[in-house]
Chain A
């Protein structure tokens, strides 16, 4: 069963705009991770945020985590056509040693 659910399922924006994707999950977690998948490729890790952290930055990426609402968001600022990809959140639950992936958000950035 899927732990994380991303919202929206698809997002289309123009270059230079910001893109925000949300992830909701059901059970308590140790950490939450975001991955990117370009079409026909494997997943690439973007950011890991632990349950005791509220915000992390990496370049143009900003991730927030609200454990009280069981939700996370990924913000990509000043998007580029090269950011076009699917983005997945993955959660590591308490007392588990596995990542559970959501269904992903397909982001299209138009030049």
Chain B
């Protein structure tokens, strides 16, 4: 069991470039989440998917899009990267939407110059 995997681990982009962060889980979880973590701050929810086929905005969705490709995979796309999107991005999954612990991936460290 790999748990939650994320690719890539590190990425440097120039302003205006696009990229997709990949996330996959092998725990048969229904819900998946994308967070960003900035220095000295907690995690902020970008988007989440309560179940396959659904996605919803979190606290900071501007500048991002997501795709729940299937039950295992949930990708995050930056269409036109900005320096303000420099952050560490974490994907997480949980059995269900309410009152369940979340399992986190190792993170993607993104720098936008």
Contacts and interface: CB of A to CB of B under 8 A. Distances in A.
Given A41-B106, A98-B48, A98-B58, A2 B101 contact: no
A50 B104 contact: no
Contacts of B62: none
A50 B45 CA distance: 21
Chain B contact residues, majority secondary structure: loop
A2 B42 contact: yes
A103 B39 CA distance: 10
Interface string A23-55: 000000011010000001111110010100000
Which secondary structure dominates where chain A touches chain B? strand
Interface residues of A, number: 25
Nearest to A45: B101
A97 B41 contact: no
Contact of B106 (A42, A98, A100, A104): A42
